[in-house]
Amino acid sequence: MADSGSEYIAVIGNTDLTPSESENNLKNTMVEKGTSLLKKMEISVAEAEKRTGKNAVNMQETYTVYLIETRPVDAASEGTNPVPDSLWRRYSEFEQLRNYLLVTYPFLVVPPLPEKRAEFVWHKLSADNMDPDFVERRRVGLENFLLRVASHPDLSTDKIFYSFLTEENGWKETVFETGFQAKADSRLKALNATFRVKNPDKRFAEMKHYGDELQSVISQLLRVRARAADRLYGVYKVHGNYGRVFSEWSAIEKEMGDGLQSAGHHMDAYAASVDDILEEEEHYADQLKEYLFYADALRAVCRKHELTQYELEMAAQDLTSKKQQREELATGTIRTFSLKGMTSKLFGQETPEQREAKLKMLETQIEEGEELVKERNGECEEFVKSAWVDIERFKEQKDHDLREALISYAIMQISMCKKGIQVWNNAKECFSKM
């Protein structure tokens, strides 16, 4: 199956695109390159709506719901434009879907959700999760999440994911019937436990380290960007002071007045443009944040592999111990410092009947142990095979996405600098005509 996810283009290198045009480019690109659900269905998160209601403990709360719209791709190709099917979902339901995917596909790098609360924000940006601008960016992020899953060669075929998109009522009951929550709780306890693998797979160890490093550098990059945004905001707003001063000066000049007044207008317009510029910057920051959270998903796969390897090693160790016990019973050779050796010294030797019964029990346990080791070994091999295929897919996607995002960010910065130069060229023209 073609790797559709690796061809996702986060932002086209054109700073004149509006957010809605960028979203359309994203969808078109994934449909062109994808071979899974997006070949059959158009998916969008069309809008967000604030609602008020009572929660599980009967307390009043305000929350946001998101409108998911789907329609068959065939309808558009046939020239018809039917009303899309639609349903509302809360952010918590998106979380539930992703948790299900994490448990069901532990060997896959599951796409992350956008942040629940704003992080790495510059001082003028609201960190309130009900702020309209933040809710809009999260709407875009949730749509991106659905497109990521729908373009994934394995995740896109999942029935629970399909019902999430198409069945508003009864979806929660359906997903809970899979028993994923019990598996999630059990897996979480195991993953939080401290254990050390004796023979770690070097590739996964290196990939886990890479996930740590990727998260670190993107965190640093986001902090630098937030500081730069603060300073940029100040620089632009200072140009508003130029505008005020030139306007006041123009009032006392006859020959120079018109030129000063015009230059002041250029400075005012430049100062006012910073809000739109920094809002656009937040979209680039959100793309970086996606890979900040992707790093967690990558490390989770590596951690799950460690757990799979550990379970295999423990099963093999237990089997080796059982075989040694069988050898001791069969030959009568007892290790001096073993528990059995100490017991024999304290309570005397076992009778032939007792030894025979223990041998029979050990034989049964060894047979079961050999089956378990065989099963664990198969699970580990299958995990490695599937996980590494998806990690390679993810690496290709990551390289493509981050390259495009950084190029687009650079183009935007160049455009901003050109606007600044143009403002001062305009001011120079105004001064020249005085």
Q: Lowest-confidence range among 6-10, 358-362, 374-378?
A: 6-10
The closest alpha carbon to 21, from 401, 286, 283, 409, belongs to: 283
pLDDT at residue 104, rounded to an integer: 93
The residue written with tokens 């183009």 in the block is: 411
pTM of the model as a whole: 0.81
Q: CB 178: neighbour CB atoms within 10 A?
A: 14
Residue 250 predicted with pLDDT over 60: yes
pLDDT at residue 134, rounded to an integer: 84
What span, in angstroms and rounded, lies between the C-alpha atoms of 124 and 71? 39
Nearest-Å Rg of the Cα atoms of the chain is: 31
The share of the chain scoring above pLDDT 90, in percent, equals 49
356 or 269: whose pLDDT is higher? 269
Q: Lowest-confidence range among 46-55, 95-104, 114-123, 349-358?
A: 114-123
pLDDT at residue 193, rounded to an integer: 56
Give me the sheet containing 41-54, strands edge to edge. Answer: 41-54, 60-72, 85-90
Residue 7 predicted with pLDDT over 80: no
pLDDT at residue 30, rounded to an integer: 52
Q: Lowest-confidence range among 132-141, 181-190, 266-275, 338-347?
A: 338-347
* Secondary structure of residue 26 in the 3-state scheme: helix
The residue written with tokens 């001011």 in the block is: 427
Residue 335 predicted with pLDDT over 80: no
What span, in angstroms and rounded, lies between the C-alpha atoms of 63 and 61? 6
What span, in angstroms and rounded, lies between the C-alpha atoms of 380 and 184? 19
Residue 8 predicted with pLDDT over 50: no
pLDDT at residue 4, rounded to an integer: 38
What span, in angstroms and rounded, lies between the C-alpha atoms of 362 and 369? 10
Residue 194 predicted with pLDDT over 70: no
pLDDT at residue 169, rounded to an integer: 86
Residue 346 predicted with pLDDT over 50: no
What span, in angstroms and rounded, lies between the C-alpha atoms of 432 and 269? 20
Q: Lowest-confidence range among 171-185, 187-201, 379-393?
A: 187-201
Q: Are 309 and 153 in contact (CB under 8 A)?
A: no
Q: Are 427 and 263 in contact (CB under 8 A)?
A: yes
pLDDT at residue 339, rounded to an integer: 54
26 or 283: whose pLDDT is higher? 283
Residue 201 predicted with pLDDT over 70: yes
Q: How many CA atoms lie within 13 A of 174 on its CB side?
A: 15
Burial (CB count <10 Å: 0-12, 13-18, 19+), residue 432: exposed
Burial (CB count <10 Å: 0-12, 13-18, 19+), residue 336: exposed
Residue 341 predicted with pLDDT over 60: no
**Residues 125-170: tens digit of each pLDDT:** 555 677 888 888 899 999 999 999 999 999 999 999 999 999 988 8
The share of the chain scoring above pLDDT 70, in percent, equals 81
Using pLDDT thresholds of 50, 70 and 90, give the confidence band for residue 53. confident
Mean pLDDT of 165-193: 78
384 or 331: whose pLDDT is higher? 384
Q: Are 291 and 218 in contact (CB under 8 A)?
A: yes
Residue 259 predicted with pLDDT over 70: yes
Distance from the Cα of residue 61 to its chain's centroid: 27
pLDDT at residue 142, rounded to an integer: 96
Residue 43 predicted with pLDDT over 90: yes
Using pLDDT thresholds of 50, 70 and 90, give the confidence band for residue 114. very high
Residue 82 predicted with pLDDT over 80: no
pLDDT at residue 12, rounded to an integer: 29
Mean pLDDT of 273-297: 89
Element (H, E) at 184: helix 180-192
CA distances from 52 to 49, 60, 244, 272, 374 (A): 10, 7, 44, 35, 54
CATH says 201-332+354-433 is which class? Answer: mainly alpha
Mean pLDDT of 171-177: 89
Residue 183 predicted with pLDDT over 90: no
